[in-house]
Structure 1
């Protein structure tokens, strides 16, 4: 059995699970594939592929060109980058793994604090031989806006209250009673953008939510406001955000997700001084990776024995 482990950027996959127990030929790919042709060329001979979240796309056109692929394991319980219907038609079993969201919640607050207190600028100043640079802001008494008060949004809001922040929230299916039960004030979408000192996005990407935060919404925000996105890049109109940051119509953005990942080398968000940028590491923590790869090995062993587990259809 030939197994491909994809997008192991840190080179840790083999050390975090007992791959030897499978008695298979395991190959690790450490870099992202440039396009579909590169995916097909690299994976054409593999029976089993382990995908890291949504870093590599598997649409019908790709799956149809991988004749030897029989099992596709995705880390996490869902993966919007895999066409499940096409996989089913092709006779490819798709399995997931365990998951927990608190690493993303923790990173959200790391980004909020970094942007509010200008941590990247201060660190850079010290490294250049300088000292204090710019003037950050405190969070106590500020308004935290949550766009999407689901599981992760609720946990982010709970931490905001520990900082002494007021919490307001909006999403399409949120009701005033639901918001109140979660310790937040329900507001309209426009009011959310207008009142928030820190606005954190926690929505699932869909055709309804794609580009939900655009030029109009950014234009409603305070010039002192911070926009935070640890969900999915396409929820925000990236061009409109870059324009707002360049024109200093909002104070800053703290981002872990982008339209194109990895972020291209010459992308403006890499150099804008009022953008705090991390390389989609919300879920990248040792404890979660141990769950991912341990469960992936279990998935492969169970499938090989004819009793697949954690199937996604």
Structure 2
């Protein structure tokens, strides 16, 4: 039987080949690791023509109907995680392409969220750069104890961030479309209205799943409700925030600052304002980029391929 051709995409750090042992697929497949950033549809179609199986990191390369229809050899698409807004699962299914996912390490994103909270409120980047450049203290850091942490979304990630805030002595409040006062109280959090969340939070952190209902939920009106000394954190998905409205609020100093790990378009354009605004702490979507998470993603991608090859696919997208 001919060996399968497997492509592992989106390996931007050139680490996929070493995180787990891909040699276990040697009896059924040849594995190629591709380190290129996403490209236009025609380039991707040419690049991926020869592969029956493609492994992707979530929301890096867009696999829409236009690309999928130009990959006649593709039979299995495997993604890190069980959500990937960059995959047109319906189109894949219609083309006879199976789509499978993986579990994820649940602590990576909450830990980065809190790192961004600390980095932003204590001006850590500016202070570290000052010292590295031969200078000394630059300003006065903010405090967290006794302040209010607002959570837009109180799912599994939001709940972990809530516990971090509580450990720092913060009052924690939350709101989302589905959240009830009873559910919030179960984790020691106070339910408030959407407007009250934005008005009362000293640090407001976004933890919603991107959907048509959440897209643009943090709009100019919501940003206008925030305190001038408040900070906005987003490690969820870029389009939940109205990006032009946020840029304007930051330029006008209507809020104190923002820490962002996710953006409308990724990678972020070279001339994007988030690269230059002095009240923005921006990181390149590294919320899930940790050793434990990559081991989970790539290890279970191998399991998915083996199960699919044996005719018993697992973790199939609904």
Please indicate the TM-score interval, normalised by the length of the shorter structure.
over 0.9
Deviations for 1:13-53, whole angstroms, at most 9, x for unmatched residues?
Answer: 01112212212222212122122222212112110100101
CA contact (8 A) 1:17 1:297 kept: no
SS in 2 for 1:282: coil
TM-aligned CA deviation for residue 307 of structure 1:
2.0
Q: Distance in 2 between matches of 1:77 and 1:50?
A: 13
Q: Tell me if 1:3 matches 2:21.
A: no
SS in 2 for 1:296: helix
Deviations for 1:134-191, whole angstroms, at most 9, x for unmatched residues?
Answer: 2111100000000011111111011100000001111011111111112111111111
SS in 1 for 2:134: coil
Q: 1:19 aligns with which of 19, 22, 33?
A: 22
Q: Distance in 1 between matches of 2:116 and 2:276?
A: 17
TM-score, normalisation: structure 1: 0.98
TM-aligned CA deviation for residue 272 of structure 1:
0.8
Aligned length: 313
Structure-to-structure mapping, 1:43-192, within 5 angstroms = 43-192=48-197
TM-aligned CA deviation for residue 214 of structure 1:
1.1
Comparing 202-211 and 302-311, the one that deviates more: 302-311
1:290 maps to what in 2? Answer: 295
SS in 2 for 1:227: strand
In the TM superposition, structure 1's runs of 4+ consecutive aligned residues that sit over 6 Å from their partners are: none
Q: Distance in 1 between matches of 2:276 and 2:135?
A: 20
CA contact (8 A) 2:38 2:60 kept: no
CA contact (8 A) 2:108 2:288 kept: yes
CA contact (8 A) 2:200 2:227 kept: yes
Structure-to-structure mapping, 1:126-275, within 5 angstroms = 126-275=131-280
Deviations for 1:261-297, whole angstroms, at most 9, x for unmatched residues?
Answer: 1111111101111100111000100011011111111
Q: Which runs of 5+ in 1 are unaligned?
A: none
SS in 2 for 1:78: coil
Comparing 103-112 and 41-50, the one that deviates more: 41-50
C-alpha RMSD over aligned residues? 1.0
